[in-house]
Structure 1
């Protein structure tokens, strides 16, 4: 019987391509239960000759390119090549911690009522040191609406990190993939998931989140007030619409 597959989706653009080697090492260090395997789908946000040299030579890896539209568009296009029951997000400049995939898989395999998981994050600083976050939620189920409520009460900042997302592929597709936003597209997806399905938070560290000058969230346009206000408004409107479609009050 062929192995069941976890599709790991990575959006990449040329400045982040050199970090693919570290992401690959972290994937190769993952140990999965018998009958499971990972498949890495790398989608370049654009067409260039700058990324291909950094894509590892491994039959478990598929590399694709497409018209530039930002990381949300690239990840959603990568879904065309996903076939397994689960999708794991891995940004090109980040690294999984040992055991992260197996922990995510175990949670969703054990409870069909859960739609997604997230986990704790360690910032990977330029000098190689790491820094954690001391306000993570408790280990266990993430109730519907809990992430949304925290986000609204804390200046539109979620207390769980969308870069750690592990999600059922059919649920991800039902929500249309990542939002078509210039930034915060992953937060928008996370909040939509929290509106329609119960999740789970793992307090074990699941990701090394690289901090470096070239990352998208370090650019000045990411915090441009007018654009950020518009992004948050459309994310909130989507959450409220999804809640109404479920027959519940806006969150």
Structure 2
């Protein structure tokens, strides 16, 4: 697949309860400042085939919509990849909002260092009253050597030190890992830990995401916390990580050459 060299594809799966939040998600994406020559594309994918998601979005040529049979967030995210363009993929859930210049910070890290395969950033919980609160487990900003996230996950009752909803990953690495896991939940955790198993990452200390807390979100549902299902999801994720660590070398899934060989001056954006 021939890809544009300066496009960051933002992937958003949508289920019906989260449709009302798309307006806020779009406003924050629309206001992102990017380095000269860079563009974003918003790949919005409905987990279903009602057409309601496309009808709720503004007329913007940078938005690409699609539908699929109901299959959950992992299937829906991966189906959106049929329209991906550019060397980077950014995760954005429908009910969340990017902070100012979040995409520019992701691009800056990944353009500057070809040995880094993915980034995450600080996330702030967004309460229904509009207030925000910090997540206490953030690591120090900087490089996360491959395996760092997994070791923390194992040692801390399967709690991640970074937020998977802030992930930005090289497109070739994402495809090499098979996209998101076909799990009913934790598909984003599975992808993050797979990336961490084979490539160094980077944690950005500035807040990159407002993570909305509300009653309708998938992670607040009782089924999400079923002990049996959660144990099974964890077992599958652990098996994938172990298999990748056995079979992958650090030279596999090399970064896109144009991105790796190019440095972008973010001074053109003004102060970040």
How high is the TM-score relative to the length of structure 2?
0.89
Q: How does 1:55-204 map to 2 (within 5 A)?
A: 55-204=57-206
Q: How does 1:45-64 map to 2 (within 5 A)?
A: 45-64=47-66
Taking the aligned partners of 1:162 and 1:247, their CA distance within structure 2 comes to 23
Offset at residue 3 of structure 1 (A): 7.2
Instruction: Answer yes or no: is the 8 Å Cα contact 2:121–2:205 preserved in 1.
Output: yes
Q: For residues 241 and 103 of structure 1, do their structure 2 counterparts lie closer, same or farther at Cα, with a shift above 3 Å needed?
A: same
> What number of residue pairs does the alignment pair up?
247
Instruction: Answer yes or no: is the 8 Å Cα contact 1:46–1:68 preserved in 2.
Output: yes
> Is 1:242 the equivalent of 2:244?
yes
Q: Which runs of 5+ in 1 are unaligned?
A: none
Taking the aligned partners of 1:121 and 1:165, their CA distance within structure 2 comes to 11
- Aligned to 2:59, the other structure's residue is in SS state coil
Instruction: Answer yes or no: is the 8 Å Cα contact 2:5–2:87 preserved in 1.
Output: no
Instruction: Answer yes or no: is the 8 Å Cα contact 1:117–1:165 preserved in 2.
Output: yes
Counterpart of 1:40?
A: 42
| RMSD of Structure 2 on Structure 1 (CA) | 1.3
Taking the aligned partners of 1:50 and 1:170, their CA distance within structure 2 comes to 31
- Aligned to 2:52, the other structure's residue is in SS state coil
Offset at residue 57 of structure 1 (A): 1.1
How high is the TM-score relative to the length of structure 1?
0.96
Instruction: Answer yes or no: is the 8 Å Cα contact 1:91–1:163 preserved in 2.
Output: yes
- Aligned to 1:51, the other structure's residue is in SS state helix
- After superposing the two structures, state which structure 1 stretch, 35-44 or 50-59, moved more: 50-59
Residues 8-40 of structure 1: CA distance to partner in whole angstroms, max 9, x if unpaired?
A: 000001110110000000001100011100010
Q: For residues 57 and 240 of structure 1, do their structure 2 counterparts lie closer, same or farther at Cα, with a shift above 3 Å needed?
A: same
Taking the aligned partners of 1:247 and 1:109, their CA distance within structure 2 comes to 22
Q: How does 1:185-224 map to 2 (within 5 A)?
A: 185-224=187-226
Q: Which runs of 5+ in 2 are unaligned?
A: 251-272
Taking the aligned partners of 1:73 and 1:6, their CA distance within structure 2 comes to 21
Offset at residue 120 of structure 1 (A): 0.4
Offset at residue 134 of structure 1 (A): 2.3
Instruction: Answer yes or no: is the 8 Å Cα contact 1:3–1:37 preserved in 2.
Output: no
Taking the aligned partners of 2:12 and 2:137, their CA distance within structure 1 comes to 27
Offset at residue 51 of structure 1 (A): 2.1
